[in-house]
A = this chain, B = another copy of it.
Amino acid sequence: MKKVSITIKEIARQLDISKSTVSRALRDSSEISEETKKKVIALAEELNYYPNPIAISLLKNRTQTIGVIVPDIANRFYSSAIGGVEDIAYSRGYHTMIYQSHELLERERSASRHIASRRVDGLVVAISSQSENIEHFVSLQEQGIPVVFFDRVSDAMQTHKVRVDDYKGAFDATEHLIKRGCRRIAHIAGPKPVSITRFRLEGYKDALRKYDIKFQEEWVLHSEITQAGGTERTYQLMALRERPDAIFGASDRITMGIHSALRQLGYRMPDDVAVVGFCDLAMSSLLDPPVSSITQPSFEMGQQATSLLLDLIESKNTPAEYETRVLPSNLVINKSSMK
């Protein structure tokens, strides 16, 4: 199909003014009268003329567009965070382009290249679980495209970061299970390279330590962030000679897998095995039994990361110091852990 090209030239011809006048009117130059601007804009809209974004970008050094990369848009945590990104972006006059990495480094790199070539103004990212190397984001930053991390952050790059207090969330969940009488508490953790995996594992270990419960290597299993991963690791845990009396799941997908495996294997929650996870609340209420969950302010995380990003974009200078914001999580107790 051939593209119909409607240009500044056509607007100039129809209004009998110079191309330079049209172009200055479209970028709201003070040299052009309000009356002329109105005429030009009205005709541009009539002709469905959208100014060349690269031309605007050269003038304003902006595209009024930000990108957001998350591992999986179907994950409720990320779709809610994207809602927060769009909320701030829209209110400040920016478009949002969404990419998903599917937890693959290769896809994340491909999205980064695309973002660089199409010249978005900046990027909000939750890093894929495969990405120990984040050179592709460093490279964007070096090219003047600011990158702000949320949820999954990296120490390998100086920039603004917004995350939840994963350590405290995991500590609270584990302490709650201990207070309910559980002593053999297993933890199905996320992939090792991911920052939140480490923070959550530390919270879990420190809670055990506080109550003088011995940490046992075989009760911590790492899993991909999928329901199938949670199911498989639950089989493995329940097959142990000394079975756990509680399982703490490190993500909502993993927790759904734990729930489904325990039901399938015939265990009662919480009597046989108590369960606490990171789980979407709307989802949890439909499960039987409903799952106790550490809730995270996902929408707010998206909002804050985006505010920080837009401030970087709109400021002329690199900030003296980058900020790491740590938002609180909250333990919501449900039937699955009420022993």
Interface residue ranges, A against B (CB under 8 Å): 1-4, 6, 48, 50-54, 61, 63, 65, 72-74, 76, 79-80, 82, 86, 90, 95-100, 107, 110-111, 113-114, 116-118, 139, 142-146, 227, 256, 259-260, 282, 285-288, 312-313, 315-318
Contact = CB atoms under 8 A, between A and B. Distances in A.
A43 to B, nearest CB: 15
A86 B107 CA distance: 11
A73 B79 contact: yes
Contacts of A111: 95
A314 to B, nearest CB: 9
A260 to B, nearest CB: 6
A117 B286 contact: no
Nearest to A94: B114
Given A74-B73, A117-B53, A287-B288, A48 B98 contact: no
B82 A116 contact: no
Given A79-B74, A117-B50, A117-B51, A61 B3 contact: yes
B313 A1 contact: yes
B65 A1 contact: no
A227 B260 contact: no
Given A74-B73, A117-B53, A315-B1, A286 B287 contact: yes
Given A256-B286, A286-B286, A98 B95 contact: no
Contacts of A72: 79
A48 B99 contact: no
Contact of A99 (B97, B285, B287): B97
Nearest to A116: B50
A48 B287 contact: no
A95 B74 contact: no
Contacts of A286: 256, 259-260, 286-287
Contacts of A287: 286-288
A53 B50 CA distance: 16
Contacts of A144: 1-4
Contact of A285 (B53, B74, B260, B313): B260
A195 B315 CA distance: 46
A95 B82 contact: no
A146 B2 CA distance: 10
A110 B95 contact: yes
